[in-house]
Amino acid sequence: MTNHLTQEIARPRPATAGDVEEAPAVQHTEISVRPDEFRQRGPVEHKEKTFELNNVSVSYGKARAVNDVTMDIFHQNITALIGPSGCGKSTLLRSLNRMNDLIPSARVDGQLLYHGADIYGPKVDPVQVRKVIGMVFQKPNPFPKSIYDNVAFGPRTTGIKGDMDEIVEKALTRAGLWDEVKDRLDDNAYGMSGGQQQRLCIARCIAVEPDVILMDEPCSALDPISTGRIEDLMLELKERYSIVIVTHNMQQAARVSDMTAFLMVELTADEKSRWGELIEYDDTTKIFTNPGDSRTEDYISGKVG
Amino acid sequence: MSTDEKDAPPRTARTRLAVAGARATTESVFGARPRGDRVSNRLFLALLLLGLAVAMAGLATMIIWAIVEGSPRLNMDLITNGPSTLNIDQAGYRPAILGSIYVIGGVIALILPLGVGAAVYLEEYADKSRWWNRLFELNIQNLAGVPSIVFGILGLAFIVRQPLGLGFVPAAGAITIALLVLPTVILASREAIRAVPPSIREGSLALGATQWQTTWRQVLPAATSGILTGVILAVARAIGEAAPLLLVGAVTFVTFDPSFFSPGFTTLPTQIFDWAGRPQEQFQVLAAAGVLIMLALVLVMNSFAVWLRNRFEQKW
């Protein structure tokens, strides 16, 4: 996807897979994710960067939520953000499409580039950002309208031209929902099951043809079967979109993601308050089998958090 | 004991003994509370019922009185004829009903855009950390408690006289009543807008909709039933207002049909007020029949509000 943002941008830094320096491999003990849980995947190709985060910090008023995150998020990858509650995963995720702007006191420092363009540049319209970078929320939040209108809302408001029936069908098909709902498109979306509602929210997001889909714990309110369907869906969507997912479920991160970032709540330098910090960011396989940081290993093996 | 015999009465003496023993034990542990406790409980319940009874008795008395007193005059003359002091038995409420319709129509036309607009600003756009927005909120709540006669004086001073200078016309009455019920409408609309969960706004904004599109296409449609319910209840109250209208020109005896911008109009409550104050028996009957018209109107409006709320209520 070409540059949708209006800014001419500073040069991106040379690519590095992870910015955390490789600590000597730790002797790892019982890891809660067995190797056979990993999806069969070839070597991950990191050809194109979707996001480049350079020393990004997010604050609410005077309280800093996430401190100094530097990482690259790659195109057509699923990138998982894991870590204990309060480590700022969701905050970081919401800064990627400027949803944090809705909170008046929120402030983002550092440089956040999307395909080389500064998302927080002075001429960038957050509404334009959100058209390109969609979001799926923790709790399914369909609009109190018909299934059809839920999907059609995005294309209508963002002025996408074309046959609306076709757009709706395509989005629902890609979200794997078409066969279940094609006979009741006019029914209220609140009559669907939780899993269907969440896939409807994904369909709604796809309908505006975004480049990136951000998912904030999309399966935490769903049962394992619905979760499995959404994970399958994510793997299909990966062919077209870049996906960033926040999850508390480490098995989920191991199953679906290509890259995993581990964030942790850390004391600030003066030890008076806490904020979230990026501890380690690497290939998912490496994070789960041979983490470079002992804190990562403690977390994923269930010793802390 | 098997399950299908569970409820059967105890058969043998031994069973009876066991049951009696169990019951005695239960009562000694969970038994009756002290006597004083029970008395105060009953007393409290009686007080609650008394409150309910007084309220219901008041309503019932009013309705029964109005029906008994007014029923001889319940015919079409009551609606189609104008008032008359010579021909009291054929006198009716035609100009008053029309006047009320004009005033209420004007009120609805004014409070819907103004009330909803103010509520949308306060809920969706206002930055609550700014002192002036908090001041607005506080004052709207205060305004909702201002006596209606004060609004009547305001209407007389600023709407009937200068600067608006409309004169004693139905439009002046409509503006005055609209100002009176506006705070109520704003508060009700804010409640309805606040009831729309933030996740709906987030979902809409995350699709690249602007704040205006989100408000107009998601929040307001979802809040419509709540807003309309509030508006109808406010209007039902406005129908019964007499005091401010007396000040802005609702004279009590008008024989001709009103027109929105020409002087001389009356409304149902002011007309009833006039007739109830006259000594002749026939006027008393006429006033009671007028009360029936108003009760029916208010009942219809409130029922519509309840229906609307139940029909379009969204479970989140």
Residue A134 to residue B213, Cβ atoms within 8 A: no
- Give the C-alpha separation, A284 to A295, whole Å: 16
Cβ contact A161:A231 at 8 Å: no
- Give the C-alpha separation, A183 to A149, whole Å: 14
- Give the C-alpha separation, B101 to B78, whole Å: 16
pLDDT at position B316: 67
Other Cβ atoms within 10 Å of B33 Cβ, number: 9
- Over residues B30-34, the mean pLDDT reads 68
- Nearest Cα residue in chain B from A191: B315
pLDDT at position A44: 54
- Give the C-alpha separation, B27 to B9, whole Å: 20
Give A157→chain B minimum CA distance, Å: 6
The pLDDT mean for chain B works out to 86
Residue ranges in chain A modelled with pLDDT below 70: 1-47, 305
In chain B, residues with a C-beta closer than 8 Å to the C-beta of A134 are 206-208
- Over residues B61-90, the mean pLDDT reads 83
What does the H/E/C string look like for B177-217?
A: HHHHHHHHHHHHHHHHHHCCCHHHHHHHHHCCCCHHHHHHH
Other Cβ atoms within 10 Å of A271 Cβ, number: 7
CATH superfamily of A48-300: P-loop containing nucleotide triphosphate hydrolases (3.40.50.300)
DSSP conformation class of A121: -
Residue B127 to residue A137, Cβ atoms within 8 A: no
Domains of chain A, by residue range, sit at 48-300
Q: In 3D, which of B248, B119, B233, B116 has the Cα closest to residue B177?
A: B248
Give A8→chain B minimum CA distance, Å: 22
pLDDT at position B31: 67
Of the residues A102, A206, A244, the best mutation for testing chain B's interface (the one with the most B CB atoms within 10 Å of its CB) is A102
A175-220 pLDDT per residue, tens:
888 999 999 999 999 999 988 999 999 999 999 989 999 999 999 8
| CB < 8 Å from B in window 67-126 of A | 97, 99, 102, 104
Cβ contact B266:B251 at 8 Å: yes
B172-202 pLDDT per residue, tens:
999 999 999 999 999 999 999 999 999 999 9
Backbone angles phi and psi of B54, in degrees to 5: -60, -45
ipTM over cut 0.85: no
Residue B208 to residue A141, Cβ atoms within 8 A: no
Report CA-CA distances (Å) from B286 to A120, B62, B242, B296, B300.
72, 15, 17, 15, 21
- Over residues B269-292, the mean pLDDT reads 87
pLDDT at position B276: 86
Residues B141-150: contacts with CB within 8 Å, 24+ apart?
Answer: B141/B183, B141/B187, B143/B182, B143/B183, B144/B183, B144/B184, B144/B187, B148/B180, B148/B241, B148/B243, B148/B244, B149/B243, B149/B244, B149/B247
Placement of tokens 């098909």 in the chain: A173
B207-219 pLDDT per residue, tens:
999 999 999 999 9
Q: Taking 80 as the threshold, does the pLDDT of residue B225 lie above it?
A: yes
Q: Taking 50 as the threshold, does the pLDDT of residue B226 lie above it?
A: yes
From the list B200, B213, B217, the residue facing A141 with the nearest CB is B200
Q: Percent of chain A beyond pLDDT 70?
A: 84
Size of interface A-B (CB pairs under 8 A): 74
pLDDT at position A8: 33
From the list A130, A142, A190, the residue facing B206 with the nearest CB is A130
- Give the C-alpha separation, A9 to A116, whole Å: 6
Domains and CATH numbers, chain B: 77-312 (1.10.3720.10)
From the list B202, B208, B222, the residue facing A144 with the nearest CB is B222
Residues 6+ apart with CB under 8 A from A36: none
The pLDDT mean for chain A works out to 83
- Give the C-alpha separation, B241 to B244, whole Å: 7
Give B210→chain A minimum CA distance, Å: 6
Give A205→chain B minimum CA distance, Å: 6
pLDDT at position B47: 95
pLDDT at position B210: 92
pLDDT at position A45: 57
A11-52 pLDDT per residue, tens:
333 334 444 444 444 444 444 444 445 554 545 555 688 999
From the list B129, B206, B314, the residue facing A99 with the nearest CB is B206
Residue B314 to residue A144, Cβ atoms within 8 A: yes
Q: Residue A256 burial by CB count (10 A; 0-12/13-18/19+): exposed, middle or buried?
A: buried
Q: In 3D, which of A210, A228, A61, A221 has the Cα closest to residue A141?
A: A221
- Give the C-alpha separation, A141 to B157, whole Å: 51
